[in-house]
């Protein structure tokens, strides 16, 4: 391969830092060891594929958008909503351009396109991926609440209000009607 992959190698190491980067908003809910950005992005991608399939959009594209939606946080950190009140938000497109500098253009342009599509909030897949981001936050809040973090209710309520797809809203209602361990009880024949 003629293309130099050193910038890609650097980015792959950089992306790994998201496994240790905590989602900071949960600290305000009292969660001592909140999920990482990488954990959030993984489940967001899964949820995006589900919502997209049920909404008639491309589930693979929605999941791919969700995979890349928080990659800029390797450089900006996870700035929660309170922090955004006081600090100018970094433009995800600019951060992505810096992150992809030096990569083979076929890859760099594809990543910039994905981030741009997500940020534009217009394609059906971007809408599904953005709903997945909110639904994942709500789902995590439900799990934290079940662990005794009652302050997580704020995140549950706020996420619920911000859902825009019919599937996201219906799925949120369904999640609210279940305990986080109902799946286990059902699998074991306990319910």
Per residue in 36-92, pLDDT (tens digit) is: 999 999 999 999 999 999 999 999 999 999 999 999 999 988 888 788 788 877 899
User: How many domains, the chain?
Assistant: 1
pTM of this prediction exceeds 0.75 = yes
To 5 degrees, how large is the angle CA 94–CA 95–CA 99? 120
- What's the pLDDT tens digit per position in 139-175? 999 999 999 999 999 999 999 999 999 999 999 999 9
Q: Is residue 1 part of a domain?
A: no
Q: Is residue 45 part of a domain?
A: yes
Q: Contacts by 158-162 with C-beta closer than 8 Å and gap 24+? A: 159/134, 159/135, 162/134
Provide the residue range defining the domain that includes 77: 6-187
Question: What is the model's pLDDT at position 2?
Answer: 47
- What's the pLDDT tens digit per position in 65-77? 999 999 999 998 8
The CATH number of the domain holding residue 100 is 1.10.3210.10
């Amino acid at each position: 391969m003629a293309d130099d992959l050193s910038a890609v190698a650097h980015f792959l190491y950089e992306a790994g830092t998201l496994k240790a980067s905590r989602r900071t908003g949960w600290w305000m809910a009292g969660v001592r060891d909140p999920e990482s950005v990488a954990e959030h992005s993984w489940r967001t991608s899964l949820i995006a594929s589900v919502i997209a399939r049920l909404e008639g959009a491309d589930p693979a594209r929605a999941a791919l958008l969700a995979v890349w939606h928080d990659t800029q946080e390797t450089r900006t950190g996870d700035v929660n909503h309170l922090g955004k009140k006081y600090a100018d938000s970094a433009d995800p497109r600019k951060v992505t351009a810096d992150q992809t500098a030096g990569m083979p253009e076929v890859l760099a342009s594809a990543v910039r396109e994905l981030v741009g599509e997500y940020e534009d909030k217009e394609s059906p897949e971007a809408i599904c991926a953005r709903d997945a981001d909110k639904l994942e936050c709500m789902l995590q809040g439900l799990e934290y609440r079940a662990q005794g973090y009652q302050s997580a209710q704020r995140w549950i309520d706020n996420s619920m209000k911000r859902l825009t797809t019919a599937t996201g809203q219906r799925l949120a209602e369904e999640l609210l009607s279940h305990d986080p361990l109902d799946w286990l009880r059902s699998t074991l024949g306990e319910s």
